[in-house]
Amino acid sequence: MENQFDVVVIGSGPGGYVAAIRASQLGYKVAIVEKYSTLGGTCTNVGCIPAKSLLDSSEHYHQAEVQFKAHGINTGGISLDFGQFIRRKGEVVSQNTSGLVYLMKKNKIQVYHGVGSFTDTTHLKVTAADNTVTTLTSRYFIIATGSKPSTIPGVAIDKKRIITSTESLSLPEKPASMVIIGGGVIGVELASVYARIGTSVTIIEYTSNLIPTMDQELGKALQKSLRQLKINLLLGSKVQSAANNGATATVKFLDDKGAQQEIMADYCLVAVGRRAYTDGLNLAAIGIQTEKNGKIKVNDKLQTNVPNIYAIGDVIDGPMLAHKAEEEGVFAAETIHGMHPHINYALVPGVVYTWPEVAAVGATEEQLKAQNVEYRVGKFPYMASARARASMDTDGFVKVLVSPKYGEILGVHIIGPRAADVIAQSVLAIEQEMTAEEMIRSCYAHPTYAEALKDAYLIATGQGAINI
């Protein structure tokens, strides 16, 4: 009976640990299986949390260099202790992983460290680092094994000079230069980190816009912001190869005119996306179906084609976001319990933690145009915000897309201070089917960054902004 459970979760990232906790709260005997020695998965250990730690540290350093004097703060010359810069990140990660250990104990969730591999639909073999094997029996399984960085033809990741986001978070010294392949979320965030501390950074992006999956106007505004950090942006360029020279790396590419170019830097960071990670699960042995891209097929209940096995997070279709995985973790646990939870995938917000931050929910202008949907635009610049002027964070804007017929909110797109927090109000508003007029009638504290939303809605409805 010791190794018999109601629910076994494979993977302890945001989706996995949330699924395990919710299942335990619902009265199930739960175990969680984690390949690595610490809990938390990519997000906690080598993704969201450490990246935000470095982003905050680098922004403090950048502000001290370029803004403190305007505030009347004389720094008298500052310097960066790169070792402490990295160590603080590690301390934040350690605090979070320790918190997860506490949550597992609090919720009476049994933790197994090792690689999980199905032997049949009710048994999972867990092989620990010392090769000891434990077999778990369970009525249900939830696969939450996440994703790994991917690459492109001609670029072999060696984790030395040609690196991924994982290695970029723990470099042994501050690099003098870095080439980043990919101008998506991961690429622009890490470019911000290193450019702020004095690294010469170049981003090579295949498309003509940064963060290409988001509203194009956000990407164009972000380009201006990153250029202020002296980041070299090579858009519309196709990388052909990357080579480790020993102490440097060389990247060869075709520029936006099709001409052959090459660039050398201390490191080449590959940030072209991630792939679903199912290695070692032995899915074929139990007949679980996968897509061509390696992701696991699930139905609208997040069930695989094996009814007692569910899958969530990066390992299935949809945006590879921690908060999407968390929602799916709760959804899977509650579905197993016979409940009828709901996820609106159209309202999963996207966030980029540069400074200014970028955040969005709902449809982009490009999507509405492609669907021939009529809309009105309300756009309010942070330059006109009293709160933004007070903090010297005047770059960016709020843009709302509203249906002219009923005032339905179709999309909200923000680039500006604390956009990641401000977007939450818009997620709730669209989820609850509030109209632009109802958003205008809500009372906003003054002065706040969120007030820009109210003015954007006023503009979209033809009334005009009234705040500063």
Q: What tokens appear for 223 in the block? A: 């380009």
Distance CA 77, CA 94 (A): 31
Torsion of CA 52, 58, 64, 67, to 10 degrees: -70
Using DSSP bridges, classify how beta strands 4-10 and 309-311 pair: parallel, antiparallel or unpaired: unpaired
What string of DSSP letters covers 318-343? S---HHHHHHHHHHHHHHHTT-----
CA atoms of 258 and 237, how far apart (whole Å)? 8
Q: Is residue 414 within 8 Å of residue 360, measured between CB atoms?
A: yes
> What 3-state class would DSSP assign to 146?
coil
Catalytic residue among 60, 62, 113, 446: 446
DSSP string, 390-437: HHT----EEEEEE-TTT-BEEEEEEEETTHHHHHHHHHHHHHTT-BHH
Task: Decide the pairing of beta strands 397-402 and 409-416.
Answer: antiparallel
84-114 in b/e form (b: 16+ CB < 10 A) is ebbebbeebbeebbeebeebbeebebbbbbb
Residue 301 CA, chain-centre distance (Å), reads: 24
Catalytic status, residue 340: no
Bond from prior residue into 349 cis (ω within 30 degrees of 0) = no
Q: H helices then E strands: how many in the chain?
A: 13, 22
**Catalytic positions:** 446
